Amino acid sequence: MSKTYYDPADLRKFGKITEWSEELGNKFFDYYGKVFEEGALSAREKSLIALAVAHTEQCPYCIDAYTKDGLQRGITKEEMMEAVHVGAAIKSGATLVHGVQMMNKVNKLEM
Amino acid sequence: MPKKSLLARNNDLANTQHQLEILSNGIFKDELPTFANKIKESNQFPLRPKKLEILQINLGYMCNQVCAHCHVDAGPDRKEIMTIETMNQCLDVIKKTEAHTLDLTGGAPEMNPNFRWFVEEASKAGIKDFIVRSNLTIIRANKKYYDLPEFFKKHNVHVVSSMPHWTRGKTDKQRGDGVFDKSIKALQMLNEVGYGVEGTNLKLDLVYNPSGAFLPGDQQGLENDFKKALKEDFNIDFNSLFAITNLPISRFLDYLIASENYEDYMYALVEAYNPMAVENVMCTNTISVSWDGWLYDCDFNQMLNLKVNAKVKHISEYNEEILQNRNIIINQHCYGCTAGAGSSCQGVVA
């Protein structure tokens, strides 16, 4: 048994999830592949979105995968970092905007 | 960033046998299929030549740059240069070959003292596509090279130049400090005489190699990004971009091992294996000639010292019929040419 919860080598085994549920696994990978095709958004834009989400989800596999994907597409490290900041801004904004709920509650409860 | 070749540094990987041992052992002993076994799965073994299209001649390993990924291990300290005698043997072959493309490479082929004479003589053979692979900075390296764009134009040479990125940082990290600025200047000089400019027949193509342990992305997408950025930032035009995968040999192998990326990179190459790419892999339509006249299936086999598996092994005894009946020598580095959309000196193949 692995001594850590995450093993980088497990990313290579992602495709094996179809072995225990072929139909659902295949449907997922078909959908996944389709999502990242060129569309109204370019594949390059989608890669940057995926990188930002990978960080907000704090998924180490996704971070590895979409950092490499970005490099393959010629995306610069400055662009990648800006994407991560977009994710961080939404994540922190999402925390802070709940401050309004706190303020509302305080205002309601205090005399 | 290396300052000297592996050979000058007495690095173990300067020994091609050592490289082949690394490629044949480790993860290829029990984890990953060898290239031979992989192509057996799709009945493509042994790999055989198709119609000869490209004669690629290496004029020498001397270069003004020491790029981190160089599969030739080229550099200023490499003294291997093709002699006039071997050039004459090449010219005899160029006159009678059925190949439609002549591809001169190096090192920096322009550094061969007889480069211009050879180009003049070879261009007389009337070969359809005459390529010179120029690293660009050589055009700015010394005043004696400043007129190279005019010289190329005079002989209707098709210029193919390396450019790993449209930003300074990524380019200089792979190819050395100052390379980006010199390359931009050289591209502008080529544009000035008409290379890459719409309405002329002077072709200027760029070669993109990833600047690290990852595979090239979609060739068309990269070409679009390169065109947009180079036009906007420097008013530079070019025709096409070839996306080429770095093969795990020589200095790139050294980099992969030193950065602990070797196993992941080989996994990535094997996972991206595309049997369709095997069909058009460049060793099936190319003969590679080394600076000293030996014949190889491709430039990469040349750098691994894997001479053709045929009775004739040298340009002095060149016989196209015999060569076309050979089996192509393969090893695990070949996965580099069959990953994804494939890779060749002319870019993707599938």
Half-sphere exposure of B165 (CA within 13 A, CB side): 22
Out of B169, B217, B271, name the one closest to residue A74 (CB): B217
CB B327 within 8 A of CB B340: no
CB contact residues (below 8 A), chain B span 155-184, against chain A? 165-167, 169-170
What does DSSP say about strands B286-289 and B241-243: parallel, antiparallel, or unpaired? unpaired
Can you tell me whether residue B280 is helix, strand or coil? coil
Per the CB < 8 A criterion, the answer to whether B320 and B52 are in contact is: yes
pLDDT on residue A47: 97
Residue ranges for chain A with pLDDT beneath 50 = none
Q: How far is B271 from chain A (nearest CA, A)?
A: 9
Cα end-to-end distance, chain B, whole Å: 33
Q: pLDDT tens for residues B105-115?
A: 999 999 999 99
The model's confidence at residue B348, banded by pLDDT at 50, 70 and 90, is: confident
Interchain pair A72, B221: CB under 8 A: no
With an 8 Å Cβ cutoff, the interface of chain A facing chain B consists of: 8, 12, 42-44, 68-69, 71-74, 76
Query: Which residue, among B182, B191, B115, B183, has the nearest Cα to B150 in the 3D structure?
Result: B191
Closest residue in A to B263 (Cα) is: A9
Burial class (CB in 10 A: 0-12, 13-18, 19+), A25: middle
Element (H or E) spanning B242, and its range?
Answer: strand B241-243
| A-interface mutation test, from B174, B218, B269, most A Cβ less than 10 A away | B218
pLDDT digits (tens, 9 = 90+) for B44-93: 999 999 999 999 999 999 999 999 999 999 999 999 999 999 999 999 99
Rounded CA-CA distance B297/B5 in Å is 24
Chain B, nearest residue to A11 by Cα: B264
Q: Tell me the ipTM for this assembly.
A: 0.78
Name the minimum distance, in Å, from the CA of B341 to any CA of chain A.
13
More confident residue, B309 or B340: B309
- Using the Cβ of B221 and the Cβ atoms of chain A, whether some distance falls under 8 Å is answered with yes
B146 close contact with A: CB closer than 8 A: no
Residue B215 contacts A, CB cutoff 8 Å: yes
User: Residue B219, SS3?
Assistant: helix
pLDDT at B88: 97
| pLDDT, tens only, B277-293 | 999 999 999 999 999 99
In this complex, do B214 and A72 lie within 8 Å of one another by their Cβ atoms?
A: yes
Which chain B residue has the Cα nearest residue A65?
B214
Interface test with B, best of A71, A77, A78, A80 (most B CBs within 10 A): A71
- Out of B170, B212, B217, the one facing A73 most closely (by C-beta) is B217
CB contact under 8 A, A43 and B271: no
Q: Which CATH architecture best describes the domain B8-337?
A: Alpha-Beta Barrel (3.20)
Report whether pLDDT(B12) > 80.
yes
Dist CA B71 CA B183 (whole Å): 20
Smallest CA–CA distance from B211 into chain A, residue: A71
Structural domain boundaries in chain B: 8-337
SS3 percent helix, strand, coil of chain B, rounded to 5, is: 40, 15, 45
What integer best gives the mean pLDDT of chain B?
A: 95
The helix/strand/coil state of A88 is helix
The percentage of chain B sitting over the pLDDT mark of 70, rounded to a whole number, equals 100
Question: Could you tell me the pTM of the whole model?
Answer: 0.91
Tell me which residue in B165, B169, B264 faces A74 most closely, judged by beta carbons. Answer: B165
Structure tokens at B152: 């190329």
Q: Which residue in A7, A72, A77 has the most chain B C-beta atoms within 10 A of its own C-beta, making it the best mutation to test that interface? A: A72
pLDDT in tens, B176-193: 899 999 999 999 999 999
C-alpha distance from residue B349 to each of B72, B101, B165, B279 (Å): 22, 16, 21, 8
Q: How many CB atoms lie within 10 A of CB B30?
A: 6
Residue listed under structure tokens 């094996």: A16
* Chain B partners within 8 Å of A66 (Cβ): none
Please check whether residue B76 touches A, CB under 8 A.
Answer: no
Torsions phi, psi of B324, nearest 5? -70, -10
**What CA–CA distance (Å, rounded) separates B4 from B58?**
20
> Chain A within 8 Å of B210 (Cβ-Cβ)?
yes
pLDDT value of position B344: 85
Q: How far apart are CA B139 and CA B189, in angstroms?
A: 9
Dig out the tokens for A28 from the structure: 């997922």
Question: Are A32 and A45 within 8 A, CB to CB?
Answer: no
Structure tokens at A99: 């401050």
**For tokens 């005019």, what's the residue?**
B150
Q: What type of residue is B279?
A: E
Q: Which amino acid appears at position A48 of this protein?
A: L
Q: Do B214 and A43 touch (CB under 8 A)?
A: no
Q: Are the Cβ atoms of B221 and A43 closer than 8 angstroms?
A: yes
Alpha helices per DSSP H over chain B: 16-24, 27-30, 35-41, 84-96, 115-123, 137-141, 148-154, 168-175, 179-192, 219-234, 250-258, 262-271, 275-279, 299-303, 320-323, 335-338
